[in-house]
Amino acid sequence: MSLLQNKKIILGISGGIAAYKCAELTRRLTEQGAQVRVVMTSAAKAFITPLTMQAVSGNPVSDDLLDPAAEAAMGHIELAKWADLILITPASADLMARLAQGMANDLLTTLCLASAAPTVISPAMNQQMWAAPATQRNLEQLKKDGRFIIGPGVGEQACGDVGAGRMLEPAQIIEYLPAFFLPQVLQGTKVVITAGPTQEAIDPVRYISNHSSGKMGYALAQAASWLGAQVTLVSGPTNLVPPQNCECIAIKSTEQMLSACQQVSQQANIFIACAAVADYKAASIESHKIKKTQHQLNLQLTKNPDILATIAQQVDKPFSVGFAAETQDVARYAKDKMQRKNLDMIIANDVSNQQIGFNSEQNAVTVYWPDGELDFAAEDKSTLAIKLLQLIAKQYTQQTQ
């Protein structure tokens, strides 16, 4: 089930060419089960019509603070109380200035003052307007007032300029929203997560790897960010886009992953090794492509360093969590791995089950720690990741108290 299911969201639209993206944003929000009420400024209606927004949201559009019919029942106050979240995008320089000064001279700014719901602002404007000292002062004031700022993006703008000021794409915006509906149990923590496979070169065109898609590790990184953590994702080669608000370090080999993890884990509170690293590598890498001249090719392999054990056996180690992808006797192998590698917790799954193995959208796991265990039935990896991170946060907090 979507984390936005039945959430009541006011979508505030101010004047800007990026307003056209709000139709797609609204459609995506409603697909995830959110209830969307659209509020438009006068300038916004010059770029996209209220009729369009009414059609995609399924609700009448509000655009007038002094609408006699609505205000007979104090409509703006009722709407302010209705909202679980106020999302303003595109937020123009003018709207940001008025919000920063606490003005209430239209329906949208009035709602922001009258509502106790979190206000999320996604700016969109010309790059020079974004960089202007006045806009930056207003930005800092909005942050001090407890408003949440996401974006803007960087790239080519409608005017032809290139720089910061683009409205984030609808999918990017939606990635941020679940954090406002989840307890921030990882607030103030630094979490390092490894994901994906590693690749060990044999020659310039061939390598040793495995079937890991990286989906579970990326889901954990997204969930950790939603729960308030500062996240670093160390990832082997995947086809996935790193989550918003996460630092991503791209690597190929196991040794490269170890080097990156040793560096970033020094300041980490929690280290989660979800990557499916290659246990072995070629003893020597050929400088040229190996030619197919014989019926057999004998490769000499040598063992790779153990990333998880290396991090978990440091004197001042972070709370260390491993994964055990097994095909038989899962519990025994997982518990043995936890003990051998000095782990605080291990997450075990049976990858022989193709419904929950590599590349699948779902996973089912059993989590073990020194004095407990917990089963998680099969469900989508994003939902499972949130539950796993909440359990990890609980155990980490108990250990550090």
Active site residues: 159
Task: Please give the structure tokens belonging to residue 247.
Answer: 């630092």
Q: How far is CA 184 from CA 118, 187, 189, 234, 394, in A?
A: 14, 5, 10, 23, 12
> Can you give the three-state secondary structure of the chain, one letter per residue?
CCCCCCCEEEEEECCCHHHHHHHHHHHHHHHCCCEEEEEECCCHHHCCCHHHHHHHHCCCCECCCCCHHHHCCCHHHHHHHHCCEEEEEEECHHHHHHHHCCCCCCHHHHHHHHCCCCEEEEECCCHHHHHCHHHHHHHHHHHHCCCEECCCEEEECCCCCEEEEECCCHHHHHHHHHHHHCCCCCCCCEEEEEECECCEEEECCEEECCCCCCHHHHHHHHHHHHCCCEEEEEECCCCCCCCCCEEEEECCCHHHHHHHHHHHHHHCCEEEECCECCCEEECCCCCCCCCCCCCCCCCCEEECCCHHHHHHCCCCCCEEEEEEEECCCHHHHHHHHHHHCCCCEEEEEECCCCCCCCCCCEEEEEEEECCEEEEEEEEEHHHHHHHHHHHHHHHHHHHHC
Region of 157 please: left (phi>0), alpha (psi -120 to 50) or beta. beta
**Residue 79 and residue 62 in contact, taking contact as beta carbons nearer than 8 Å:** yes
Residue with tokens 């509000």: 62
Closest to 126 (Cα-Cα) out of 148, 159, 154: 159
Task: Please give the structure tokens belonging to residue 391.
Answer: 């359990």
